[in-house]
């Protein structure tokens, strides 16, 4: 496949060269839509009934415009609009906003949630920075409101009581440059034990995790994580193919807390990628921003995400830097010399860090 610098000009050039349509998936409110883009026409098909709505997506005077295409009808679902907007920002990934020329019947909901803003000239506009904070599009079970704050103590640390742990799939996102859906789901200790054991005994993983062992050891390990209220363990999948393991944690209760000025809602994470054929840059640029995105969506009060890889893990530290993590300092845990990395919520959304800086174009999957 050819490599392209990911920007609107190169995307336009690829579209002009390719006779094939661009296919995307979007799942707002867990409703699956197949979105197809060709010749400035965006079709959004509902997987439940195969009904299709037509939109026009084009650039005019440097502005990105999404226009309702069915002149015979003024009705469409909010989820159809969300799917069309997600596709617009995926196809033109460096646009900061898209102007809507659509009949808005559900304006209160859309304005109240921040999806829509009314511009000074009276037009409706969707800002990418607002849109990517809409948990209903990628977070599969968002809470209707923030979990109440109730202060508790555990292991000598004062912190907010955490919400119950989720179950099942918690996040999903269609990755345009892979043509596959990335998802995170909670660990099932019985179903995932064999896979987890194989990954932990992989020499590449063992070098950093140092948790080799038999099934009994790893079952005890998983059960310990699941019993810990401040940690959630997840399996990452591409089109339901498991390939990695994550532990996400509340930093206030974690071992990292004494090493920086921790906030009540800071989150952190650990990762291993167990499948060798799913390692490498195209995959890192999918899962690394996505785990950050999930943690920011999971609680709007989370302003910082932290990570503490081993200080000599140069590849991981480079990947983190490319995805917006600042390297704050090296410090000593009892078991390792670590690098403290931190990603700010404001930076993630303002700089659109879910978009790789230099990777395979979302349309190059149709080229050879």
List the catalytic residues.
Answer: 308
Structure tokens at 164: 């119950």
Q: How far is CA 151 from the centre of its chain?
A: 29
Distance between CA atoms of residues 307 and 256, nearest Å: 9
- What CA–CA distance (Å, rounded) separates 354 from 174? 12
Taking alpha carbons only, the member of 212, 171, 168 closest to residue 187 is: 168
What's the N-to-C CA distance of the chain in angstroms? 5
Give the whole-angstrom CA distance, residue 91 versus residue 94. 9
Coil/strand/helix, residue 273:
strand
What is the strand order of the sheet 22-26 is part of?
22-26, 33-38, 41-46, 52-60, 63-68, 97-101, 124-127, 117-118
CB 35 within 8 A of CB 83: yes
């Amino acid at each position: 496949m050819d490599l392209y610098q990911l920007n609107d000009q190169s995307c336009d050039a690829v579209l002009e060269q390719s006779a094939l349509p661009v296919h995307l998936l979007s799942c707002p409110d867990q409703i699956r839509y197949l979105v197809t883009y060709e010749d400035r026409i965006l079709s959004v098909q509902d997987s439940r009934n195969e009904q299709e709505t037509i939109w026009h997506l084009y650039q005019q005077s440097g502005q990105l415009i999404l226009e309702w295409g069915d002149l015979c009808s003024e009705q469409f679902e909010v989820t159809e609009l969300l799917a069309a907007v997600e596709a617009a920002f995926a196809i033109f990934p460096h646009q900061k906003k898209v102007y809507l020329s659509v009949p808005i019947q559900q304006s209160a909901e859309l304005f109240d949630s921040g999806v829509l803003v009314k511009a000074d000239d009276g037009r409706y506009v969707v800002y990418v920075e607002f849109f990517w904070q809409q948990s209903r599009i990628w977070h599969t079970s968002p809470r209707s409101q923030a979990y109440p704050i109730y202060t508790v103590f555990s292991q000598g640390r004062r912190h907010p009581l955490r919400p119950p742990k989720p179950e099942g799939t918690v996040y999903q996102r269609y990755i345009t440059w892979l043509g596959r859906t990335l998802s995170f789901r909670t660990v099932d200790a019985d179903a995932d034990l064999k896979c987890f054991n194989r990954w932990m005994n992989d020499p590449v993983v063992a070098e950093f995790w140092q948790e080799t062992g038999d099934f009994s050891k790893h079952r005890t390990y998983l059960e310990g994580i699941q019993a810990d209220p401040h940690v959630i363990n997840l399996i990452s999948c591409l089109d339901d193919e498991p390939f990695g393991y994550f532990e996400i944690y509340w930093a206030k209760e974690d071992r990292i807390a004494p090493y920086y000025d921790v906030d009540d809602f800071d989150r952190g994470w650990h990762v291993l990628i167990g499948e060798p054929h799913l390692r490498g840059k195209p995959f890192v640029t999918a899962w690394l921003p996505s785990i950050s995105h999930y943690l920011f969506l999971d609680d709007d009060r989370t302003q910082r995400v932290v990570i503490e890889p081993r200080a000599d893990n140069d590849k991981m530290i480079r990947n983190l830097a490319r995805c917006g993590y600042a390297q704050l300092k090296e410090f000593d845990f009892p078991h390792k010399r670590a690098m403290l990395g931190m990603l700010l919520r404001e930076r993630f959304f303002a700089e659109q860090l879910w978009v790789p800086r230099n990777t395979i174009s979302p349309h190059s999957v149709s080229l050879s």
